[in-house]
A and B are shown apart, each in its own frame.
Chain A
Amino acid sequence: MPQVKVYVTLKPTLLDAQGRVVQKALNSLGYSNVEQVRIGKYLELDLSGDGDVSEQIKEMCDKLLANPIIENYRYEVIK
Chain B
Amino acid sequence: MKFGVVRFPGSNCDQDAYYVLRDVFGKQVNYIWHQERDVKGYDCIVLPGGFSYGDYLRTGAIARFSPVMEAVIAHAQKGKFLIGICNGFQVLCESHLLPGALVRNTGLKFVCRHVYVRVENASTPWTISAKRGEVLRIPIAHGEGRYVAEPETLQKLNETGRILFRYCDDKGRISEEGNPNGSMENIAGIANESFNVLGMMPHPERASEKILQSDEGKVIFDSIIKTILLQ
Contacts and interface: CB of A to CB of B under 8 A. Distances in A.
Interface centre among B100, B103, B107, B108 (most CB of A within 10 A): B103
Interface string B7-46: 0000000000000000000000000000000000000000
A17 interface: yes
A64 interface: yes
Interface centre among A18, A21, A69 (most CB of B within 10 A): A69
A62 B148 CA distance: 19
Which size class do A's interface residues fall under? 10 to 19
Tell me the dominant secondary structure on chain B's binding face. Answer: loop
Given A67-B101, A70-B101, A70-B148, A18 B108 contact: yes
B104 interface: yes
A21 B107 CA distance: 10
A24 B150 CA distance: 28
A75 to B, nearest CB: 16
Given A64-B61, A64-B65, A65-B57, A70 B104 contact: no
B104 A18 contact: yes
Interface in B86-101: 93-94, 99-101
A47 interface: no
Contacts of B107: 17
B106 A67 contact: no
